[in-house]
Amino acid sequence: METKTCTKCKIEKELSFFRKTYKWYKNTCKACELEYARDYYRKRKAENRQKCSEYYKRNKDKVNDRKKKYSDKNRAGLKIQYYIRVGKIKRPSECEYCGKECKPHAHHHDYSKPLSVIFLCNDCHMRKHVEIRETKLSRQIYERINS
C-alpha cells in the first residue's frame, strides 16, 4: 500500500486520500483541500458583501431605480405566465409578425400593462429588442447634440 505525506498537514496518508490529476497525485490531501476551499469561500464572501454594501451606499438612487425597473418587468412576466398557465390567455402557435410556426414569446410594450402583449418568435423578439435599444440610443444622442 503506497503512502504520501500531505504538504499542508504533514501527515502520511494512503494515496486514496489524495486527488489524482492526469499523471500524479496532488501534494495536499482531500481534507486539507476542502478546508482551504471553505476558508477561501468565506473570505471571498465577506469581501464581496463589503464591496456590495459600499456600492449600495454610494449609488442608492441608481440601485433603487434599477430595482423598480426590473421588479415591474418581472411582475409583468410572471403575470402573463400565470394567465397562460390557467388558460385565461391562449398562446398562439405562430409568431404575430412573421407567421412562423413555433412557441412564441410574450413581448410587453409597456410593463405597467402586463396583459397587453404580442406573441413573437425568438428571432422577431430579439429584433424587436434591438430596435427598441437603437431607438433609445438615437434619442439619447439627439438630446445630447441639441442640449
Same domain, 96 and 110: yes
Has residue 116 got a pLDDT over 80? yes
Same domain, 66 and 81: yes
Residue span of the structural domain in which 33 resides: 3-53
Q: What does the alpha-carbon distance between residue 68 and residue 75 come to, in Å, rounded to a whole number? A: 10
Domain count, the chain: 2
Same domain, 81 and 141: yes
Residue 25's pLDDT band (boundaries 50, 70, 90)? very high
Same domain, 66 and 114: yes
Instruction: Report the largest interatomic distance among the alpha carbons of the chain, rounded to a whole angstrom.
Output: 81
Has residue 68 got a pLDDT over 80? no
Same domain, 70 and 141: yes
Same domain, 140 and 88: yes
> What is the separation of C-alpha 71 from the centre of its chain, rounded to a whole number of angstroms?
15
Same domain, 68 and 125: yes
- pLDDT by residue (tens digit) across 26-46? 999 999 999 999 999 999 999
Percentage of the chain exceeding pLDDT 90: 61
For residue 30, give the C-alpha cell: 482531500
Same domain, 22 and 68: no
- Predicted model pTM: 0.52
Has residue 22 got a pLDDT over 80? yes
Mean pLDDT, range 87-106, rounded to an integer? 92
Same domain, 90 and 105: yes
For residue 118, the cross-strand partners are: 107
Give residue 92's region: left, alpha or beta (phi > 0; psi -120 to 50): beta
